[in-house]
Structure 1
Amino acid sequence: MQFLLSPILAIIHRIFKQGDARSVKARRDSLKMLRNKGVSVILSFCFLPLFLSCFERVEYGIWVTILSLINWVGFFDIGLGQGLRNKLAESMAMKNYRLAKEYVSTTYVVVSLIFLSIICLFLILYPFLDWYKIVNAPNYLSQEINVVILIVFVATIFTFILRLLVFVLYGLQQPNVVSNIGLVTQIVTLGSVFIAIKWFQISSLVVFSLIMTLIPIVIYMIYTAYLYIVRYPFLMPKLNYVRKKHMHALVGIGLFFFLIQLANIILTQSNNLIISKVLGPEYVGEFHVAFQYLSVLTMFFYIVTTPYWSAVTDAYTQKNYDWIRKSVKDLKIVFRVVLVVAVIMNLLSQFVFRIWIGDKIHIRNITVILMSLYVLLQAYGNIYISIINGMSKIRFQFCVVLFSSILYLPLALFLTHKYELIGLLIAMIIIALGTNLWAPIQYRMLIKGKAFGIFDR
């Protein structure tokens, strides 16, 4: 047994204990996040059959569509969260803690004003719109859907304000704490939904939406208090640390992050709405289940790359380009692992679906295959995009994503009308080719010092 364990332990030691401090921290953070996400994936798989045991397929499709619509609003912080992430990492690398506190305070005040204004605007417009028609819900659900929209929108807006905590933690290179928050939120939410459905026999979308939106608010409030009172009191936001002069720096980079995120909304979050409007809410289930199944790969790769973003900002500020090159090599090895796992998941997909959701929703093999291609393209591009984002060289990325988002909607609508769900997936793959394969080229130009014009901005 010792003969077998020694080589394995040696590999683990080399990966997680050897190397420079920045690399070791990034790897350890990735490992902690993988542990949390592993549990999170299991919990998310438990959630779907629990929901389907209480609600019909149409109601499930409507719920997913509502969440997609609401999540659009979260990007109207003008990218200030992402801007804060990079600026905070730079300030901490220079050990300028006063500047860090000014960035944090300024961002909290500006984002709060933006989102509270959005709530006021929404409450003015709310009575004049038939929300159930927007999500293509049947008439018998009209009253319930209108109430659900009101609850989910207002609660989600407050969550977006509290989620600035996430960007602060990323800037502090504490992504493992972010994954802790997500795991705790999911455990409490799933437990509450289970009790509501199994013990109290609740089958109301209104009650369900209250549970799903209020619990995250409470969890974020607890973690926010802990972060600023116990862990990092020197960063606690205060009005007298708000600086108008920092708005240019935050909005300068943040605006491009915002526009990239807004374009990415069209490329990702619009899919459920397209399916619901063109094919009907009952078709959302097949797409969403296949996406959730393969999101294991997306989450895994996102977890691995997340610690590198702010670590790259730190390294780039200190002009440590050798570390950046080595990080890219490490991430390419991880991608090969993801590729192998994707093949295995395709081979086992129907077996997993039978155990997971039974015969509630039928997911075709072609749907899983095409979704896999899309996910792999996104993962490969993310190797380089996470590095480029850490360098804050994002203007060319903005141009590519903006052009892709303009092209995507007509292409997706045309192919969905013509080939139904398969057509939508083909449109996703076509656009993913354009939005991800440019990144390796720009990265090589940047790392060799040959980037010019928009490639270097």
Structure 2
Amino acid sequence: MLKGYINSLSEGNKERTTKVNFNIAVSFILRAVSIVVSFLTISFSLKLLDTNKYGVWLAISSTVSWISILDIGLANGLRNKIAEYLAVKNYEEAKIAVSSTYAILFIIVVPILLLFAVFLKFANWNSIFNTKLNERELLLTVATVFIGLLMQFFLKPISSILQGDQKIYKANLIQLLCNFIPLIPIICFSKYVRGSMFALAIAQTILPVFVLIVYTLVLFQTQYSRIKPSLKQVNLAKSKSLFGLSFAFFIVQIAGVFLYSTTELIITREFGGSDVTLFNLLFKYFSTTGLILSIILATYWSAFTNAFALNDFTWIRASIRKLVKIACLLLAVTLVQLLLVVPVFKLWVGDKIHVPFTLSVILVIYFSITLFTSVFSMVLNGMGKVKVQAIVSLITAILHIPVVLFFIRHFHWGLNSLVYASALWALIQVFVWRKEINSVLKLEEKAPEEELVNSELVFNTK
């Protein structure tokens, strides 16, 4: 019914725009529920653990999140290739890409798991996270988080396939279930097993694995049976274009995960676990506008891939202008968030957290810049032009820790130091990404014209 209504709104538009509108409408509903579930999970997790222990939990989960980069960008590369192959109904190449992706992920997962099993026994986790917690509980928590995220990492191509097929709403439904199912046991744990990080780790990292397994099996038996992975279809030689694109995505991805995971580790070591909780909650609060934008951008990614493959540059330029206007509207929402930050935090977590005004203002500036960074980055991702992104992201990742520590130890800016550095990188990226988009579009628009002129010259000569 909703799809029919969206179609009526988009009457006269192309099929691509209709798909984008439908995905946005359904995804907003699913992601809105997902955000509510996420905030409830944080609230009950804080009842399960105290602020210091919750800060350590955040440091563990964010540090182990580097697992997501081990796919060397295959998830994003697969997403783009699936969009290209399905657009021209090339199911054979799509099947090869899917099969090769799962094969590579399996080859990565097995040795990593074995290496971690050896490292787990000899590592001093209290020293790594600068804590004095129960050694056994800390070890079990780290092991559970690692195994759970590693399994999720292996199973995530199903979401990339849905995204490439412009069925973003189905990928969001999977994410919603992965967020919602852990909430039920967390509520129970907050009443009966308070203080257990291990219980929280089981709920948040192991339960989502079962959701992904069920969805993967069902989808490959039904609507994606034609591209179901097969050992016979694993062909790394024929998948060179997939891996070339994937490696560029990998560089961007590793830089992003590095910045995210080191942030909470730096705070833990420099300021303590309680400040990790403060920073994380403020970051989540102000990132909600970015989440809203990401719902819209996620639906456009594969649509840009489709449009670029078909040389529909008029649609691309019009869509970029539309997305920039949306980013401007969300910037105004971020300013409203700043005005409401204190009452919202009192309602959300009570008097446990004191909200520093200066840190809130700096975070607003940072997230306002990232709204536009996200738009331009997604356009380049959709067009498969990731080389410049990879270079700039790698440079900023290398500079991040030295710059943050310099701000902390020489200027004594405290937690603000992390946001100052991140805002600087985001500002640089806005200008570089925008310039790269203009260069790519001018070059691609010029190419068909040159081909037409050359064909006319050949015709006239004959």
The normalised TM-score by structure 1 is 0.93
Distance in 1 (CA, whole Å) between partners of 2:392 and 2:9 is: 35
Tell me, yes or no, if structure 1 residue 431 matches structure 2 residue 433.
no
Name 1:5's counterpart in structure 2: none
Q: 1:346 to 1:209 in 2, by over 3 A?
A: same
Tell me, yes or no, if structure 1 residue 47 matches structure 2 residue 41.
yes
| CA deviation after TM superposition for structure 1 residue 54, in Å | 2.5
SS at match of 2:354: coil
Tell me, yes or no, if structure 1 residue 141 matches structure 2 residue 134.
yes
Name 2:271's counterpart in structure 1: 279
1:357-391: per-residue Cα shift (whole Å, max 9, x none)? 01112121222221121112111011111111111
- The 8 Å contact of residues 442 and 451 in structure 1, kept in 2 or not, is answered as no
Name 1:4's counterpart in structure 2: none
- The 8 Å contact of residues 87 and 306 in structure 2, kept in 1 or not, is answered as yes
SS at match of 2:71: coil
Q: 1:96 to 1:143 in 2, by over 3 A?
A: same
| CA deviation after TM superposition for structure 1 residue 12, in Å | 8.1
Name 2:454's counterpart in structure 1: none
| CA deviation after TM superposition for structure 1 residue 132, in Å | 2.2
Tell me, yes or no, if structure 1 residue 91 matches structure 2 residue 91.
no
| CA deviation after TM superposition for structure 1 residue 399, in Å | 1.1
Q: How does 1:167-182 map to 2 (within 5 A)?
A: 167-182=160-175
1:149-185: per-residue Cα shift (whole Å, max 9, x none)? 1111012101100111111111111111111011112
Name 2:58's counterpart in structure 1: 64
Which amino acid is 1:369 matched to? V
- Choose 54-63 or 361-370, whichever is displaced more: 361-370
- Choose 280-289 or 200-209, whichever is displaced more: 200-209
Q: How does 1:180-259 map to 2 (within 5 A)?
A: 180-198=173-191, 200-259=192-251
Q: Choose the corresponding residue for 2:156, options 149, 157, 163.
A: 163
Q: How does 1:124-135 map to 2 (within 5 A)?
A: 124-135=118-129
Tell me, yes or no, if structure 1 residue 412 matches structure 2 residue 404.
yes
Tell me, yes or no, if structure 1 residue 100 matches structure 2 residue 100.
no
| CA deviation after TM superposition for structure 1 residue 143, in Å | 2.5
1:77-123: per-residue Cα shift (whole Å, max 9, x none)? 11111111111111111211111011001101111110121111111
SS at match of 2:414: helix
- The 8 Å contact of residues 105 and 241 in structure 1, kept in 2 or not, is answered as yes
Q: How does 1:9-20 map to 2 (within 5 A)?
A: 19-20=13-14
Q: 1:293 to 1:16 in 2, by over 3 A?
A: farther
Which amino acid is 2:256 matched to? N
Q: 1:376 to 1:58 in 2, by over 3 A?
A: same
1:175-228: per-residue Cα shift (whole Å, max 9, x none)? 111110111121211112112223x34431112211111110000011111110
Which amino acid is 1:257 matched to? F
| CA-atom RMSD in angstroms | 1.8
Distance in 1 (CA, whole Å) between partners of 2:30 and 2:318 is: 26
Q: Choose the corresponding residue for 1:442, options 436, 440, 443.
A: 436
1:240-263: per-residue Cα shift (whole Å, max 9, x none)? 111121342222111111111111
| CA deviation after TM superposition for structure 1 residue 18, in Å | 5.4
Distance in 1 (CA, whole Å) between partners of 2:36 and 2:444 is: 45
Q: Choose the corresponding residue for 1:369, options 361, 370, 373.
A: 361
Distance in 1 (CA, whole Å) between partners of 2:6 and 2:18 is: 12
SS at match of 1:271: helix
Distance in 1 (CA, whole Å) between partners of 2:445 and 2:306 is: 20
The normalised TM-score by structure 2 is 0.92
Name 1:358's counterpart in structure 2: 350
SS at match of 2:48: coil
Distance in 2 (CA, whole Å) between partners of 1:441 and 1:450 is: 14
- Choose 442-451 or 334-343, whichever is displaced more: 442-451
Q: Choose the corresponding residue for 2:73, options 56, 75, 79.
A: 79
Distance in 1 (CA, whole Å) between partners of 2:206 and 2:182 is: 9
Q: Percent identity?
A: 28
Distance in 2 (CA, whole Å) between partners of 1:247 and 1:119 is: 26
Distance in 2 (CA, whole Å) between partners of 1:37 and 1:382 is: 18
| CA deviation after TM superposition for structure 1 residue 331, in Å | 0.6
Q: Choose the corresponding residue for 1:329, options 314, 321, 325.
A: 321
- Choose 90-99 or 434-443, whichever is displaced more: 434-443
What number of residue pairs does the alignment pair up? Answer: 440
